[in-house]
Chain A
């Protein structure tokens, strides 16, 4: 069983739609949960991180973590063509440890 599971299916949405992405994880010791965005031929860049359970909002992006169900979510409101990228969820034991990544979701926002 992989530590972080993410259904890797591609997702195409029209501009302005809400994008909903989610992951599950198996290690209950994970404390930090991240969403990374990766453009083609680039390294991942941190979009948001959450410590333990709860919600975090940053502009059009909202991250949610439910530790009781080991569920991680990312919502993108008013999606833009510039949001087209691969989104990777990740988790770690503490702030300095290795990141355990999901497989990523390729998101395409159609103008």
Chain B
């Protein structure tokens, strides 16, 4: 079974530029998550989708971050304009929703450096 795919793996931009990340979840996984992991920290949820609807975006800095999952499969996360503090690894995870615990499978992440 193919895992969660993310691209690009690495990105270096200057502050105030824009950047976009792409995620392809595991086939059949209706729930998709974007996490931000700053160096030395645990991942922090930015946004959670159920199919193409947003379940939780309470920690998404909406003035600069946006995300979409138009057809309930692939998702993109965009930052515009980027700040130095956005340097982090952006992790995408997916899960098959159900009534009990459903394992979140993580992709390898996109490492963003903002100069």
In the complex the two chains form, is A102's CB within 8 Å of B42's CB?
yes
Closest approach, in angstroms, between the C-beta of A43 and any C-beta of chain B? 3
Asked if B71 is at the interface of the complex by the 8 Å CB criterion, the answer is no
By beta carbon, the residue of chain A nearest B4 is A43
* Given A32-B101, A95-B98, A98-B48, A44 contacting B43 (CB threshold 8 A): yes
- Asked if A41 is at the interface (CB within 8 A of a chain B CB), the reply is yes
One of B4, B56, B104 near A46 (C-beta < 8 A): B104
Q: Does A101 contact B (CB under 8 A)?
A: yes
Q: Is the CB of B93 within 8 A of A51?
A: no
Instruction: Give the residues in chain A near B106, CB-CB below 8 Å.
Output: 43-45
The smallest beta-carbon distance between A28 and chain B, in angstroms, is 18
How many interface residues does chain A have, given as a range? 20 to 34
Tell me if B97 counts as interface (CB < 8 A to partner A). Answer: yes
Instruction: Please give, as numbers and ranges, the residues of chain A lying within 8 Å of B31 by CB-CB distance.
Output: 96
Binding site for B on A (CB under 8 A): 4, 6, 8, 32, 41-46, 49, 51, 88, 90, 95-99, 101-104
- Given A43, A46, A98, which contacts B107 in the complex, CB threshold below 8 Å? A43
For chain A, what secondary structure do more than half of its interface residues adopt (helix, strand, loop), or is it mixed? Answer: loop
Known A-B contacts: A44-B106, A90-B42. Give 5 more (CB < 8 A). Answer: A41-B108, A43-B107, A96-B95, A101-B43, A101-B44
Nearest to B47 among chain A residues (CB) is A98
Q: How far, in Å, is A71 (CB) from chain B's closest CB?
A: 17
Measured between beta carbons, the chain A residues less than 8 angstroms from B97 are: 96
**Residues B91 and A43 in contact, CB atoms below 8 Å apart:** yes
Please list 28 pairs of residues, one from A and one from B, whose beta carbons are closer than 8 Å in the complex, sorted by A's number: A4-B42, A6-B42, A42-B108, A43-B107, A44-B43, A44-B91, A49-B101, A49-B103, A51-B100, A88-B42, A90-B42, A95-B98, A95-B100, A95-B102, A96-B31, A96-B95, A96-B98, A97-B48, A98-B33, A98-B45, A98-B48, A99-B43, A99-B45, A101-B43, A101-B44, A103-B42, A104-B40, A104-B42
